[in-house]
Amino acid sequence: MAKRVNPITVVSSNFLALYTVELMINNLFSLSYSFTATDVADKVVFKCEYLTFGRRVLLNAARKPILLFQKKLLSFQHRWTVFKGNSLNSKDIIFITKGSPMIYPESLDVIMGNDKNQNFSHFKVKGDLFGESCTIHARDGNIIAKMHKKLTLGNEKYALTVYPNVDQAFVVTLVLIMRLMREIDMYERLKARDDEGRRRDR
């Protein structure tokens, strides 16, 4: 288990804890791409809701917007941009994620919004081929959080472990982007195939 002395704050220090936090992400795979993250007492900590034009908002338990994120259209690097609150202003960019130009990239580079040159990755998300587990690494290589699929009946659930002094809102957003990246790409490719099939049948 990774123990951190220096806090990792990306979104807000309000989302830090001095102990390891266990969260359960529910309904992560759905047509609306909405989800809740609950704690060990089954209380809602975060909610994510779909807005419009591919935008999604992360809310706290009181439904106050924490951040907004969206996928860049026509991006071969699976690029997502994350903004403060519900802003879309470039000055409010918190961080950007970029993946390799693969159909289903197994890793994401995380670049802070104040890095104008975007020369290097500040964090990295490493997942498996099927997107059912991942680890999040700081720049020094230490693991700061990990996620794996939970075997349950009904809805898919994912167990998320966030180590001490690590921004939980930041970690939850990265996990969500990693999953959405895979599910949205799969949906878009199936839709394109169906559209092509209908054109041929005309």
Residue 54 lies in a domain: yes
Q: Do residues 70 and 55 lie in contact, with contact meaning Cβ atoms separated by under 8 Å?
A: yes
Query: Cα torsion for 46, 23, 113, 1, to the nearest 10°?
Result: 160
Region 138-165: what's the mean pLDDT?
A: 88
- Residue 191 binned pLDDT confidence (cut-offs 50, 70, 90): very low
Residue 97 lies in a domain: yes
Region 10-22: what's the mean pLDDT?
A: 96
For the chain, percent of residues with pLDDT exceeding 70: 73
Pairing of strands 55-60, 93-99: unpaired
- Residue 143 binned pLDDT confidence (cut-offs 50, 70, 90): very high
| pLDDT, position 107 | 84
Please calculate the CA angle 95-70-194 and round it to the nearest 5 degrees: 140
CATH of the domain at 161: 2.40.160.200
CA 176/CA 190 separation, integer angstroms: 21
Residue 186 lies in a domain: yes
> How many domains does the chain contain in total?
1
- Structural domain boundaries enclosing 174: 20-201
Tokens of 180: 């959405």
Residue 135 lies in a domain: yes
Residue 1 lies in a domain: no
